Amino acid sequence: MARTHPSIIRAAFAGLCPRCGARTLFAAPAELAHECANCGLNILSLERGGRFVGVVTMLLALVLILAALAVDEWLRPPLWASLLFWGHMTVGAVIFGLRFYKTMWVYHQYEESQQP
Ligand SMILES: [Zn+2]
């Protein structure tokens, strides 16, 4: 049964529920809601098993630290500029990484749960 879903990237940005498409998937920027406020889909039970979140965060942080070191070596920016820039980058990338990862996982679980 092939249903049309919004693209994962759009779903991750807007936090779209896999069942009804309402913007109810996230309660906080990187925190999934317990259930969809619109259709009552139990998001918490779909998230179960998706416990690699810590690994994803660590990998992202590692990549960012390496990137920061490379840029530092290359441009030699003033320290305050580095801190400001990488502080924002890290927070943004970690939040988006988690959102993207959680959305992928929930959509995958939702599709599995739809199989007979
Ligand atoms: Zn819903």
If one counts the domains in the chain, the total is 1
pLDDT in tens, 19-37: 999 999 999 988 999 999 9
Within a domain: 74: yes
Residue 59 reports pLDDT greater than 90:
no
CB 12 within 8 A of CB 99: yes
- Residues, beta carbon < 5 Å, ion ligand 1: 17, 19-20, 36, 38-39, 41
Which residues form the domain of 33?
Answer: 8-114
Domain assignment of residue 29, yes or no? yes
pLDDT in tens, 61-106: 888 889 888 988 888 888 899 889 988 988 888 888 888 888 988 9
Distance between Cα 110 and ligand 1 center (Å): 11
* Predicted TM-score of the model (pTM): 0.73
Of the two residues 23 and 5, the one the predictor is more confident about is 23
Q: 42 alpha carbon to ligand 1 midpoint, in Å?
A: 9
Q: How many Å lie between the centroid of ligand 1 and the Cα of residue 38?
A: 5
Residue 2 lies in a domain: no
- 3 located within any domain: no
